[in-house]
Structure 1
């Protein structure tokens, strides 16, 4: 089940990278990049981590800190999610 990465514009003129699985379900969302060039560099980093990174367990506190640093989803992504909601409902089932 191959997936892909998508580069999406954010409402404030930046961009994010979405990691989408083969069923078009959102699997991951990058930080916000200020330019396409920065995002392309981010893709290289994502590929490196995904290909060689170790899985570690962490705490709820760590998750909370990360979520405070960066909004989880932009309004543009929320709009996209609303358009594809029927596809997303079937994710993981």
Structure 2
């Protein structure tokens, strides 16, 4: 299911971006942007980061790869090797 972005009015007169999951659940709310055009540019940045951004785990839970500020390459590789492929939950035939 594809998620979506919604532009909404911010209390300061600007605009915020809501990122919604495929079922409509709220995943994130952005900072306030001064104009609608700036918010649209923010969506472009979110799309790029969402598809290519490095995941940094700053938690110290038992499932955390590391408790350092930045993960080491070995820790990132270990997490990647334990993580199922992105589309592994979908039926076969998915492109």
Q: Tell whether the structures are fold-level matches, with TM greater than 0.5.
A: yes
| Band of TM-score, shorter chain | 0.5 to 0.7
Over the aligned positions, Cα root-mean-square deviation in angstroms equals 1.5
Which structure ranks higher in relative contact order (CA pairs < 8 Å, sequence separation ≥ 6)? 1
Normalising by structure 1, we get a TM-score of 0.59
Task: Please identify the structure whose Cα radius of gyration is greater.
Answer: 2
Distance 2:44 2:2 in 1: 18
User: For residues 2 and 37 of structure 1, what CA distance do their matches in structure 2 show?
Assistant: 23
Q: How many residues align?
A: 60
Unaligned runs of 5+ in 2: 61-95
- 1:58: how far off? 1.6
Greater than 6 Å deviation, 4+ residue runs: none
Aligned runs of 1:19-38 on 2, under 5 Å? Answer: 19-38=19-38
Q: Deviations over 1:12-52 (max 9, x none)?
A: 21111010011111001111101101101101110110010
Structure 1 regions of 5+ residues with no counterpart? Answer: 61-93
TM-score by length of 2: 0.58
